[in-house]
Amino acid sequence: MLHAARALWLALAGRSARLGAGLHQTWRRSLQVRVVTITLVTSSMLVGGFAYLIADKITSILVENAQTDVLARLRSGSEYAAKQFSLYAQPQEAQLQDTIDGTVNYLAGGDPQQTSGVVVAITADRFTGVITPRTSPDVQVRPLISPELRASVAGGSVAHQIRTGTLGGERTKYLVYGSPVPTQFGQLELYYLVPLARQDATAADARATVVATGVALVLLLGLLAALVTRLVVTPVRVAARTAQRLSAGLLDQRMVVNGEDDLALLAASFNQMATNLQRQILRLEEMSRLQRRFTSDVSHELRTPLTTVRMAADLIFAERDEFDPAVARSAELLQAELDRFEELLTDLLEISRFDAGFAMLDSEPTDLVPVVHRVADRLAGLAERVGVTIELDVPTTPVIAEVDPRRVERVLRNLVGNAVEHGEAKPVLITLGMDASAVAITVRDHGVGLRPGEEKLVFNRFWRADPSRARQTGGTGLGLSISLEDARLHGGWLEAWGAPGQGAQFRLTLPARSGDRLTTSPLRLVPSDAALPFGGPRTGGLLAIGPGAAGGLAIGPAGDGDRAEVQS
């Protein structure tokens, strides 16, 4: 039984929580609901206050009228009774009791059985046992005359109270007035008990009328607020839906323009804006398409003359020993520039494939340890020429991940090449790490580093940190852009950290299984040897770049090696 009650309580609590969450969500999302609710609450408070004041005023007027009428009757009755009793000098006189009875009947209307509800009573608290109290009609009024009222009247004052009691079998509210009646032998007390049933009924009818009118007014105000808000909110909702369709690529969506008011002006302005945006977007798309086509066509068209020039240059380069030194040096320069030109064409073709969406991922289980060693060996000659030592921190056991080895090697080649170029003759450290869900590779240099803001530009095409510097590697300026696209194609992250004078570190994080979503990286992005000036936070910029939740690019500041993204 206890278990069933607990289950019922939990079910009710869960349902209440869901209902509360639904109402809170509706309140936050619906402007019309908020306006109507505020209107209803405010108008209810105002109308309720006015209704209370009006009903209270009506009740007060009715009671005051009843008091004025009873007081007039009480004074007249008191004077009449005083005249009737002035003939008696002693309370024991035989005719006094009959006179009291006749006076009570007369003041009550002459009919002891009258049905108006008014009760007239004459009492003599000072002559108990001598004078018998009389009432007309004959009912017991003592419970309705409080001791305080009796004491006040006995003291010679005219007093009144409102009491509720039962006279004649029905519980009724009475207005009780008492007045002293002076005589030669002392004082008697005259009481009028007037029922307030009619006044209560009138006040109740007035309150009901006021409440009904107030409720109708509140509902009318709520309906009016809903209609007015709907007139304003509906075009805004239409504009929001139209804007969502426009953002989804449906550039032909427009709002309906009705009338000439402000809302119609809003719709017309929105349509004009959408038309201008559509025109500009189509123009930019056409320019982008022509640009991509131009890049692709030029890259392909240059292949044929490049092949011919390459054949001639190879022949000249092979025979350079037979030429004089100046011509031999020219042959070497020609060969180097042709290599750079061919690399540029290759990168342009790769970029055009990414732009067109034709890049494909050929994933397979790959041991990344040999890949890292192979990249380090290929760049060892360049590192030796510029005085940079390449250091490796890789596990002794295989690090297996489902990746495209060609693309991963290209990313590492670009990262290590940049680190060697900007290493300022200081060691470059390559670190490989993994956990249950991801693998990561960091490339750390100790060169000039990145100034604040440059970490946002480092992956842009053809961007260079210092255009005046002489390049050692003869790069195309597209390496990091291609590396970023390769990381995105894997569903991974390519991130950069840098600080002036402290060098830079790039981190490539890839899912261990193709198609998995990354949540953390096995390696820290901010190196452990980064300086903390004055005990404050690490200096330098930090940029996290990778695929967002919706397939877009995620760029944002990251913390102390942890992942932090801003989805776009």
Domains plus CATH for the chain?
Answer: 29-245 (3.30.450.20), 254-359 (1.10.287.130), 361-468+475-556 (3.30.565.10)
Q: Please name the residue ranges forming H helices in 176-324.
A: 197-247, 262-318
Q: Supply the pLDDT for residue 466.
A: 57
Confidence of residue 359 (pLDDT cuts 50, 70, 90): confident
What mean pLDDT comes out for the span 321-342? 82
**Cβ atoms 125, 156 nearer than 8 A:** no
pLDDT tens-digit readout, 482-529:
888 889 889 999 999 998 888 999 999 999 998 899 989 999 989 988
Query: What does each C-alpha distance from 463 to 12, 118, 257, 456 come to in angstroms?
Result: 62, 105, 47, 11
Neighbours of 354 (CB within 10 A): 17
- In single-letter form, the type of residue at position 197 comes to A
* Of the candidates 242, 240, 142, 127, the residue with the CA atom closest to the CA atom of residue 186: 127
| Cα 473 to Cα 461: distance, rounded to the nearest angstrom | 17
| Cα 70 to Cα 62: distance, rounded to the nearest angstrom | 12
Neighbours of 450 (CB within 10 A): 26
Which one has a higher pLDDT value, 218 or 231?
A: 218
How is residue 524 written in tokens? 């820290």
Q: Supply the pLDDT for residue 438.
A: 94
Q: Are strands 438-445 and 428-434 parallel, antiparallel or unpaired?
A: antiparallel
| Cα 541 to Cα 480: distance, rounded to the nearest angstrom | 17
Q: Supply the pLDDT for residue 299.
A: 67
Confidence of residue 445 (pLDDT cuts 50, 70, 90): very high
**Cβ atoms 232, 65 nearer than 8 A:** no
Residue 561 pLDDT exceeds 60: no
**For the ranges 251-255, 360-364, 459-463, the one whose mean pLDDT is highest:** 360-364
Rg for the chain (alpha carbons), in Å? 51
How is residue 401 written in tokens? 């991940």
Q: Supply the pLDDT for residue 472.
A: 45
pLDDT tens-digit readout, 72-102:
888 898 888 888 888 888 888 778 888 888 8
Confidence of residue 399 (pLDDT cuts 50, 70, 90): very high
Rounded to two decimals, the pTM is 0.47
What mean pLDDT comes out for the span 4-32? 73
Cα-based angle 16, 22, 24 (whole degrees, multiple of 5): 100
Report the SS3 class of residue 549.
Answer: coil
**Cβ atoms 385, 474 nearer than 8 A:** no
Residue 566 pLDDT exceeds 50: no
Confidence of residue 1 (pLDDT cuts 50, 70, 90): low
**Cβ atoms 487, 508 nearer than 8 A:** yes
What mean pLDDT comes out for the span 183-201? 86
Least confident of 162-176, 297-311, 314-328, 552-566: 552-566
